Structure 1
Amino acid sequence: MSRPLVSIVMRTKDRAVLLTRAIADCAQQRYEDFELIIVNDGGAPEPVDALLEKHSAALKGRARVFHNPQSLGMEAASNLAISHSTGKYICIHDDDDSWHPSFLEKCVNYLEENPTAGGVAVRTQIIHEKIEGNRVIELSREIAWPGIFQFSLSKLMESNIAVPISCMYPRAVIDDLGGFRDDLPVVGDWEFHIRLAAKYHVEFIDGEPLAYWHQRRTQKGALGNSVFAGADKHAYFDLQVRDEYLRDFVEHHGVGALLWQAAMFNDLARRRETFFSWAKMRARNFLRHRK
């Protein structure tokens, strides 16, 4: 049996109602030269095995599962799956997200035509939804990062501009960067993207959304999105990553320029606050005189 060109990595833990949709989503891809590697990261194994059996005919023997007796964390789960993968290209398909049926096909074709690229990201749509019992109900949709038209390092320094479901990476690039940081319980994809964009040019496919980031903003517990249900943790580790990179910069370049920059930003903020206060006062006076 020949090795598949694409390895899909899927991490899950006690979210069968979402996992069944994610597995079916992979099986519905028009491009079929893939393997699906599921890491059950500390969850009950029986529901995962049952879902794989349920979808076995559609998956055509392309799926494997690894059960971690205890949770190792999202990035450690990704690294485990990647270590067992055989594909030239890697996708991280979170168990609550989904793709357009042509996602794999278009990303593979793009990377095959651009062999020096460090990966490819696609236009992404946010799907707002809620869970009632065993039903997932869609509420609305919107484009994610509508002002982003390239995978930009400068934009990544502000915030993450791509989620795992949006990207495909060459396996060689992931190996070159040392994989994902398993010491980060959250924001690991953002930190990886910073290292990726700092060393490689990453392509971007614009147009019709090919990836769907599903959000349940009020959902708590295992069925929630970590970025919302764990907002405090995200804020903490976001700042930790920034401080790590800042310390590295200071070690090599000192603090002088940074101190000057911080003072200029504070001065600019004060000037803007003064200007807006003045503008509001002028507007009030104008309206008062018109009466």
Structure 2
Amino acid sequence: MKNNIVSIITPLYNSENFIKKTLESVKAQTYENWEMIIVDDVSTDNGVKIVKKYAKQDSRIKLIQLDKNSGGAVARNIAIEAARGKYIAFLDSDDLWHPEKLEKQISFMQENAYSFTFTKYRQMSENGDLLNKYIEVPKKVSYRQFLLKNPIGCLTAIYDSNKLGKIYMPNIRKRQDYALWLKILKQEKNGYGLNENLAYYRLRQSSVSSNKRSLIKYQWKLYREIEKLNLLESIFYMGCVISQKIFGIK
């Protein structure tokens, strides 16, 4: 029996400046029945040393080190494979959680029998200053609605592996989390949003998500190669994405 353990999936790559605060935000959770599986993708900094120190102090923190650099999707999938929890949650090595994040979100799932949920979150600068930018979430989202727009921050998502089984990320360089949510929504009719700010997303200069042109390229790849949409469908959804990303149309 998995006893409502939350398995926190964290890829690590050259995040020595941030991983300590990420670990502290997990250790501060009021919901204590968790394990944190950190998969290092061959970092060249001191991030692994920091994780090892925390893992020695808290057996709930587990470190897996890859032999070769394989990318975020592979790192996350290895962590998912190793997970023992009923619930699979995601937190990148530079992001933070509110102390009541797990407690409130797991209660939200249990009280409503939801299998896939996400929450509102707030952005912060690279140095950790909180910004006046909140990402609101809808109460409910379906597969078709999700093709139009991804309202889910990876750092907020949780799915129930008892009900859905373990679901893995497609091995693509970008939009891998988006692709995972689409996989889940093919299986589960809806995802459900808890519109309460429970996480903090760090905006980094080097973030792959900062390049809009590149994101659009991978969005097309997602529609055509991963979701296998026909050409007309892909053009329609791509037009919606371009309107949102380039022109700010919602």
Report what 1:190 is aligned to. 178
Structure-2 separation of matches of 1:38 and 1:245: 26
How far does residue 103 in structure 1 lie from its aligned partner after superposition?
A: 0.7
Q: How does 1:1-291 map to 2 (within 5 A)?
A: 5-44=5-44, 47-54=47-54, 56-57=56-57, 60-115=58-113, 117-127=114-124, 129-130=125-126, 136-138=127-129, 140-144=131-135, 146=136, 148-172=138-162, 175=165, 178-182=167-171, 184-200=172-188, 201-206=190-195, 208-216=196-204, 219=205, 224-228=206-210, 230-244=211-225, 248-250=228-230, 258=232
Compared CA separation, residues 77 and 46, structure 1 to 2 (3 A): same
TM-score scaled to structure 2, two decimals?
Answer: 0.82
Question: Is the contact between residue 121 and residue 151 of structure 1 (CA under 8 Å) also seen in structure 2?
Answer: no
TM-score scaled to structure 1, two decimals?
Answer: 0.72
Structure-2 separation of matches of 1:158 and 1:165: 20
How far does residue 171 in structure 1 lie from its aligned partner after superposition?
A: 1.8
Structure-2 separation of matches of 1:20 and 1:241: 33
Which entry has the higher C-alpha Rg, 1 or 2?
Answer: 1
Q: Which amino acid aligns with 1:165?
A: L
How far does residue 191 in structure 1 lie from its aligned partner after superposition?
A: 1.2
Determine helix, strand or coil for the equivalent of 1:236.
helix
Compared CA separation, residues 56 and 153, structure 1 to 2 (3 A): same
Question: Is the contact between residue 118 and residue 196 of structure 1 (CA under 8 Å) also seen in structure 2?
Answer: no
Unpaired runs of at least 5, structure 2: 240-250
Percent of aligned positions with the same letter in both sequences?
A: 20
Compared CA separation, residues 68 and 194, structure 1 to 2 (3 A): same
Q: Which amino acid aligns with 1:226?
A: V
Q: How many residues align?
A: 234
C-alpha RMSD of the superposition? 2.7
How far does residue 45 in structure 1 lie from its aligned partner after superposition?
A: 7.5
How far does residue 170 in structure 1 lie from its aligned partner after superposition?
A: 1.0
Compared CA separation, residues 55 and 81, structure 1 to 2 (3 A): closer
Compared CA separation, residues 202 and 148, structure 1 to 2 (3 A): closer
Structure-2 separation of matches of 1:147 and 1:9: 22
How far does residue 204 in structure 1 lie from its aligned partner after superposition?
A: 1.7
Q: Which amino acid aligns with 1:199?
A: Q
How far does residue 203 in structure 1 lie from its aligned partner after superposition?
A: 2.0
